[in-house]
Amino acid sequence: MRAIWEGSISFGLVNIPIKLYSAVQKKELKFRYLHKSCKTPLQYLKFCPNCKREVGADEIAFGYEYEKDKFVLLDDSDFSKVPIKTTKTIDIFNFIKLEEIDPIYFEKAYYLIPKEESLKAYALLQQALNFTNKVAIGKVVLRKKEKLVAIRPYSRALLMETLYYHDEIRSLESFNFNPIDAELRDEELKMAIELINALTIKFEPESYKDNYREALLDLIAAKIEGREVKEIKEEVEKAKDLMEALKISVELAKKKDAH
């Protein structure tokens, strides 16, 4: 597996050379756009409307629009000249408790794998974070953007999660929404809490499967084999009001738990 990025973790005077690998792989089915009449995959061409021709990869540059229709060109050598430490280093500047980070800030997870010469320093940081129950907060430049990151112990390794900056999180106020306006009865809240308790279990991620992907694969296999695919309609019990919906839900949850 090819590393996404190579550099080092830096905190205080400690420097830990590492390689960065994606910690997750998406398993959604990939579809291609086809010309319906002949089933030929469509091509996407990079076309210059000024020169009226297709443009090759070696002719493409990054451009920043500093004024309307005025651009400054940048190439890879320009990005490598940016005079900040985080282009080659994950620079740690704080340690905090993991529960202080709201999940809305988490973006993507990466494994930090140590190079042979940094095993001891890597193990030291991993165990120290484990012992103190803290995560490291720092910054690193990935894909031409300085990312805020959290580094935490994961199994026997270190996991780095990129975080959204605070100004990237949309404010609730922009949606003109105030849940306080909803009037709730004590019985409704009590029943909702009972439903939550009835459905509360220990989180076991391996028990959750992508049922839609599996059903879609079955549908694709049926179409390849020329079999008819029948639509299944699930009958859902309807309730007259919120309280009745809660009562029915609690009863169903208890029956499910009894099995």
- Verify that 135 and 162 share a domain, yes or no: yes
Choosing from 168, 199, 221, the residue where a domain stops is 168
Question: For residue 56, is it within any domain?
Answer: no
- Residue 193 in any domain: the answer is yes
Q: What is the C-alpha end-to-end distance of the chain, expressed in Å?
A: 44
DSSP output for 165-217: -GGGSPPGGGGT--GGGS---HHHHHHHHHHHHHT-----GGG---HHHHHHH
| Residue 29 per-residue DSSP state | P
Mean pLDDT, rounded, for 235-239: 63
Q: Are 15 and 125 part of one and the same domain?
A: yes
Return d(Cα 105, Cα 157) in angstroms, integer: 22
In a domain, 10, yes or no: yes
**CA–CA gap between residue 61 and residue 53 (Å, rounded):** 16
Determine the 3-state secondary structure of 61 from DSSP: coil
pLDDT (0 to 100) of residue 112: 97
Q: Name the residue with higher pLDDT: 130 or 252.
A: 130
What pLDDT does residue 235 have? 64
Q: Give me the percent of the chain exceeding a pLDDT of 90.
A: 44
The verdict on 14 and 129 lying in the same domain is: yes
Are 13 and 120 within one domain? Answer: yes
Asked if 114 and 237 sit in the same domain, the reply is no
Confidence check: pLDDT of 238 > 70:
no
Torsion sign, CA atoms 213, 214, 219, 224: positive
User: How many residues can be counted in the chain?
Assistant: 259
Q: Is 211 a member of any domain?
A: yes
Residues 159, 194, single domain; the answer is no
Residues 192, 254: one domain?
yes
Q: Domain range holding 230?
A: 182-258
Distance (Å, rounded) from C-alpha 254 to C-alpha 142? 48
Would you place residue 234 in the very low, low, confident or very high pLDDT band (cuts 50, 70, 90)? low
CATH number reported for the structural domain that contains residue 14 in this entry:
2.40.290.10
3-class SS at 28? coil
In a domain, 57, yes or no: no
* CA dist., res. 258 & res. 16, Å (int): 52
Whether 68 is covered by a domain: the verdict is no
User: What pLDDT shows up at residue 132?
Assistant: 96
- Do residues 12 and 86 both lie within one domain? yes
Pairing state between β 89-96 and 5-11: parallel
Q: What does the pLDDT look like over 103-158, one tens digit per residue?
A: 999 999 999 999 989 999 999 999 999 999 999 999 999 988 899 999 999 999 99
pLDDT digits (tens, 9 = 90+) for 26-39: 888 888 889 999 99
Instruction: With beta carbons less than 8 A apart as the criterion, state whether 242 and 195 touch.
Output: no
pLDDT mean over 226-240: 72
Task: Read off the pLDDT of residues 187-222 as tens digits, 9 standing for 90 and up.
Answer: 888 989 989 888 888 989 899 888 888 888 888 888
